[in-house]
Structure formats: structure tokens, C-alpha cells
Amino acid sequence: MAKRERPQPLYLFQMLPRTNCKLCGCSTCMAFAFGLISRDKRPEDCPPLLEDAYKPTLDQLKELFGGGGVVSESGLLIEEDKCVGCGDCVVVCKKAITTMVYGGMVIQREDKPLVLQVIDGRIQVVNWKSCKRAEDPPDYCRVCEEKCRFGALELVK
Ligand code: SF4
Ligand code: SF4
Ligand code: SF4
């Protein structure tokens, strides 16, 4: 198992028919590309991709986005079958939520309930409100995703 391949919106846009026909419910093909990334859309939601000429593209998109998994309230996509329960993401997340960098210095913050926990050998979001992304203003932390060597985590929103 390896780190997750993370296609960029422009790359996906270039794979799409680029007609902005709106049949998918999105106003543009670029919006559909973002919808694929956030998992709000599936490749099959674009009717033109179901035509024979687009079969290779559809297969490629299904490969990229057909892995299943559940997007938690925090926007973290978890693919449980890829998680080996190593706990690395829990450790880095705990450090992330209890420290902040200010003026180049690392400052300790108050303890918070953990966001992530390994339960029965699989990672789970147990308290997403502690996530730095849930702060006001949000901090676009993604160290959990970066730390996972098995591609089980992806921040999609
Ligand atoms: S249905 Fe497909 S081609 Fe039409 S706007 Fe949506 S993504 Fe683009
Ligand atoms: S999500 Fe990744 S880093 Fe976290 S416990 Fe599972 S395998 Fe380890
Ligand atoms: S984004 Fe940061 S704070 Fe949120 S779960 Fe991941 S490591 Fe923790």
C-alpha cells in the first residue's frame, strides 16, 4: 500500500468533456472536478462520460475515485480498509492541536480532546471539533494526511 494519489482540479478538468453542459448539475466542468475531489460527485454523474468514446476516461476516474471510504464531518475521507492502525496520525494530530506557531516560536496550547483515535485497529474521527480546521478562523492543517503512509486519509473539503 502506498500514499494516496491526489489529482489536482486542473488535471481532472482536462480529462472531462469541457462543454459546461450542466447535465451533472454543476455549472461548469471545473466545478464538477472540485465535486469529484470532495466526493460530492461520482464520475458516473457526468452523462457524457457514459458514452463509448469516454470509456477509458471514465475507467481512469473510477480508479481515482472509486475507492469508497467515508467523508467525516471534518472533511477527512477515511478508507478503513487501508488503515493498519499504526496510530501515527493520532500522534501528529495531538501535537498539532496542542501547539501553535507564532513568530517562529512553537507555543503550547491547552489540552483538547483528541480528534482521531484508533478503535478496533482502524482510525476514527472521535471529536472533529478539536480539529484545527474547525477553528474560527480555520487553520488548514493537513499533517494527519501527510503522515499516513498507507493512503488511508485524505482531506477532501
Ligand atoms: S455533465 Fe460533464 S461535460 Fe457536462 S458540465 Fe458536467 S462535467 Fe462538464
Ligand atoms: S490512518 Fe494511516 S497513519 Fe492513521 S492509523 Fe491508519 S494507517 Fe496509521
Ligand atoms: S487536519 Fe490537523 S488538526 Fe485536523 S485531524 Fe488532521 S492533524 Fe488533526
Residue 4: which pLDDT band, with cuts at 50, 70 and 90? low
- Contacts of 17-21 with C-beta under 8 Å, sequence gap 24+, read 17/46, 17/48, 17/49, 17/54, 19/48, 21/48
Most confidently predicted of 64-68, 115-119, 151-155: 115-119
Q: How far is the CA of 48 from the centre of ligand 1 (A)?
A: 7
In short, whether 21's Cβ falls inside 6 Å of ligand 1 is yes
**Residue 17, beta-bridge partner list:** none
Q: How far is the CA of 16 from the centre of ligand 3 (A)?
A: 32
Residue 16: its pLDDT value, please? Answer: 97
Length of the chain: 157
- Asked if pLDDT for residue 118 goes beyond 80, the answer is yes
Q: What are the pLDDT digits (tens) for 17-60? A: 999 999 999 999 999 999 999 889 999 999 999 999 999 999 99
Q: Which CATH superfamily is domain 9-66 in?
A: Electron transport complex subunit B, putative Fe-S cluster (1.10.15.40)
Cα(97)–Cα(12) distance, integer angstroms: 33
Identify which ligand lies nearest to the alpha carbon of 124: 2
- For residue 90, give the 3-state DSSP assignment: helix
Where exactly are the structural domains of the chain? 9-66, 76-155
Residue 31: its pLDDT value, please? Answer: 97
Cell output for 120: 478496533
More confident residue, 47 or 7: 47
